[in-house]
Structure 1
């Protein structure tokens, strides 16, 4: 378990990156929430201050000039906010603030000390501004505003509803004069209304109870039996930072657990791969990665296993080839040694020349064997150079027929081929395949050998048949193994080294084709059937 947390662990690297991202996102979320709360607080303060101080500015403008100072003093006590009149604002206004003042709304700016704000509002029809500093809009300010609205409505007898409609844009919440009997309050609150007290009621803005609200009920002095109802209007509720912190902590916890589970699984798979590679490095070619998954690591493990199997096959083939080559070389070398001893001890010159000819034949045999071995070894490479080009198969088979007739074999060769058959192939390898198959058939045929080459859709099919003894079904797969000679008639007496069909098998593999051995129905001997595409893709799997 502790290995997961080692300094260069994939878990530490990936989770460290995730942690950095989460912290960065959390910081951004915190700053965004702080900015959002600040903007919401600014908008809420602007709205509520306009609702309170616009009507206050109207009341100030309605006072006589010599009475304004005294009225402001009393109003300041009611609002718990010191107010004064300014002929000009001592601040530079933004375009937004200028627009708000021009429309009669308040301008709110932070004082920079705690939660206090500066509020400025224009006096209607006057070149003056009402300025104050206040910690917030609360119950006391709401009561004072209700008094100012009642005083204003007293100036519009029988037109209260129209006046309230005129003031509505500066309020932002419902206002109405309603009969006392329609007001929904408890017994104590109704009793206080009947005693001409202003009642402030708190409740919920909606049935969900998510936002608190406040309503103000003020009995009208100019319209007995009527109550001015302000609200309900919501109280400012900042977005909770505690919730953000809790969400961040929980997110980090779940990310940690999830990342550990996911990345630990990856590490287990990587450790399995590492263990397998370590065993391979120590020479254990039977080691295989046991990763049961379909992800990238699973595919990597599968590729590693295929590669290991391929390397083992190559090494086994090399070992078998070395043993077989040693065995095959031993006979001609023994004959060479024997011939040289005979030639050295023979007094007859004619006999020495005859022994020399035999030595020359053994040397030719060694050259042929070496050539076969080099060809087979070259085709055992993972990626031989195969440059496919257009090849006229009619001309190729005519050439092979001429070369076969020149050998003077007793068996008759018959060639059947589609006219004008041209495919994409490599001439020297195609020649080697057909020549080896034909030569193998001639070696074991009694009288007849037949070669058939025809096109079948996008593929080419080649049949090479003979009327010889055939190949037993149990041994048909072995004929493609290197240095393999079968019993009965297919022995050393027929010649060859057992590499010809192995070479054919490798060439067919790189031609992306198949080859098999079966019994010839027409001639009775063996029939080799080779099938390969007319246009090979050239992208054969190197590990096959």
Structure 2
């Protein structure tokens, strides 16, 4: 069922596509966030790394540097020491950051430990190495101490030197009056006791949660050093969410378009074929690819085009044949009327009237044959199938034919009266009648009819004669409208070449076929029509259900 429905394939394709896009977007977010997190860590450490490198550089001797580093490690409660540059292998981008007096951050996602390498401008042999395994309140409150340690060397010029180091920080650092921050009494009391405080702010804006660090300024109790606000890392900021959403919609649109494109292409082919059909060109046929609805549409179009083309050709052939067939009886009637006008003899006039009456009857017969053929040729006739006794129909036609006193022997083979098949009685009678009439015209003495049910469940009727038969190369032509294999013989025996064409169309609408070969018993032609003995009749089933209800 799945391969037979293009819509189910599209729905399934959309589900799979959504799943793939979701996995792709998840991986993309992880990759982007990994890079963003790395940039976030580097932006937080750049400023403090510069200040710490300046603090180390101020120490005159190696021992003083070691002591400063030891004090800083105790303050941060983090491992902090000097490492030789020769022992550290830096990438090009990391070396570029060292040269720009920025920190190199290496983060291990498994251990969740970050290592910082800080270059010392006047020490070409060592890096300042910090191992960050935790970030807490203690570490955050230590940050302003390093900044104040840098500014203490410039008394009275703190703001100027703060402006100098501010470009190294990705967050604001400034000196502000204590009372301008809107702090409560407890926070002010802690500042006056020379303690740093942390201020958390939750915002509904894109910045989200921020942290600010406030530390009292030495020798100036009315002012404080304000670091921040520092935004917390947001794993899904608005820009990233919007970008991923738009990318997802774009990928889904491309995927859906890719799923619909084959159907669109096939639809355009059908539209193009229909446009060409409107111009009168019925030769174009569509490629039937697959077993889905579009393949069924292409197949239906091909069948429709073939049927219309066949109808047009049949109509043209019918018009040519009708004009030819009507010309002879009309000419005879006109000739007879002229003879009547010039003749006074009663007996002669009576014979002429009889001939004219026969020509008129021939015209009526021809018109009836044409109407029957046209009705069967133009489209599906209204067929009311019912259970028919094959022997009954054959015997009826035999009785009707014998009443015509054809001087031919009509034989019906013994058929069990219980042998029945689904058929339209009127059209089945017409088939047998036309086949027998054709056999009577061309047989020598004997015509034989038979019928029954084959082993494969197909019903059949068979009409044979002892005439000359039909050459094998002409056996398909006999079913064409107005076809005459022997024109002079046909005119002598009567007929217009429509009888077998009508039989062929009835066999088609019965869901069967008609074929001709040589009779093994009589030696002449043997016509056999085969059709399904049982078939489902929706109209009859509905009537039965209605009667039962």
The alignment's TM-score, normalised by the length of structure 1, stands at: 0.56
Q: How far did residue 300 of structure 1 move? A: 2.2
* Residue of structure 2 aligned with 1:214, choices 130, 134, 148: 134
Gaps of 5+ in 1: 1-13, 34-186, 219-235, 540-544
Cα deviation, 1:438-489, whole Å, max 9, x if unaligned, reads 1111111112111111111422122211110000011100111111111288
CA distance in 2, matches of 1:528, 1:506: 14
| Superposed displacement of residue 537, structure 1 | 3.5
In structure 2, the residue matched to 1:450 is: 448
Are the structure 2 counterparts of residues 194 and 352 from structure 1 closer, same or farther at C-alpha, using a change threshold of 3 Å? closer
Contact 2:434 2:499 in 1 (8 A): yes
Distance 1:274 1:210, change over 3 A: farther
List per-residue Cα deviations over 1:96-122 (Å, max 9, x = no partner): xxxxxxxxxxxxxxxxxxxxxxxxxxx
In the alignment, which of 373, 377, 390 is matched to residue 374 of structure 2?
377
1:276 has 2:273 as partner: yes
- Given the alignment of the two structures, is residue 437 of structure 1 paired with residue 435 of structure 2, yes or no? yes
State the distance in 1 between where 2:508 and 2:537 align.
11
Distance 1:189 1:388, change over 3 A: farther
Which residue matches 1:465?
Answer: 464
Spell out, residue by residue over 1:491-522, the C-alpha distance to the aligned partner (whole angstroms, 9 max, x if none): 21111110100111111111111110111111
Question: Residues 9-28 of structure 1 correspond to what in structure 2 (within 5 A)?
Answer: none
**1:358 match:** 355
Which of 270, 282, 293 aligns to 1:285? It is 282
SS in 2 for 1:380: helix
TM-score calculated relative to the size of structure 2: 0.56
Q: Tell me how far 1:404 sits from its aligned partner.
A: 1.4
Task: Give how far 1:326 is off.
Answer: 0.8
Seen in structure 2, the aligned counterparts of structure 1 residues 358 and 272 have a Cα distance that, compared at 3 Å, is: same
- Give the direction of change, closer, same or farther, for the CA distance of 1:426–1:302 in structure 2 (3 Å limit): closer
Per-residue CA distance 1:117-170 (angstroms, 9 max, x = gap)? xxxxxxxxxxxxxxxxxxxxxxxxxxxxxxxxxxxxxxxxxxxxxxxxxxxxxx
Q: Which residue of 2 aligns with 1:312?
A: 309
Give the C-alpha shift of residue 243 in structure 1.
Answer: 4.7
1:199: which partner in 2?
A: 77
Instruction: Give the match for residue 504 of structure 2.
Output: 505
CA distance in 1 between counterparts of 2:487 and 2:518 reads 17
Instruction: State the SS of the aligned residue for 2:134.
Output: strand
Structure 1 residues 537 and 474, CA gap change in structure 2 (3 angstroms): farther
Q: How far apart, CA to CA, are the structure 1 residues paired with 2:284 and 2:306?
A: 9
In structure 1, C-alpha distance between the alignment counterparts of 2:419 and 2:430, rounded to whole Å? 18
In the alignment, the residues of structure 2 paired with residue 502 and residue 260 of structure 1 have an alpha-carbon distance, to the nearest angstrom, of 51
Residues 201, 216 of structure 1: 8 Å contact kept: no
Structure 2 unmatched ranges of 5 or more:
1-9, 30-65, 81-105, 115-131, 139-231, 539-549
Structure-2 separation of matches of 1:518 and 1:342? 47
Matched residue count: 344
SS at match of 1:537: coil
After superposition, residues 52-201 of structure 1 pair within 5 angstroms as 199=77
Change (3 A) 1:347 1:297: same
Match of 1:428 among 414, 426, 429: 426
Query: Secondary structure of the residue that 2:380 maps to in structure 1?
Result: coil
Q: CA RMSD in A?
A: 3.8
Aligned partner of 1:117 in structure 2 is none
CA contact (8 A) 1:272 1:291 kept: no
- Cα deviation, 1:53-102, whole Å, max 9, x if unaligned, reads xxxxxxxxxxxxxxxxxxxxxxxxxxxxxxxxxxxxxxxxxxxxxxxxxx
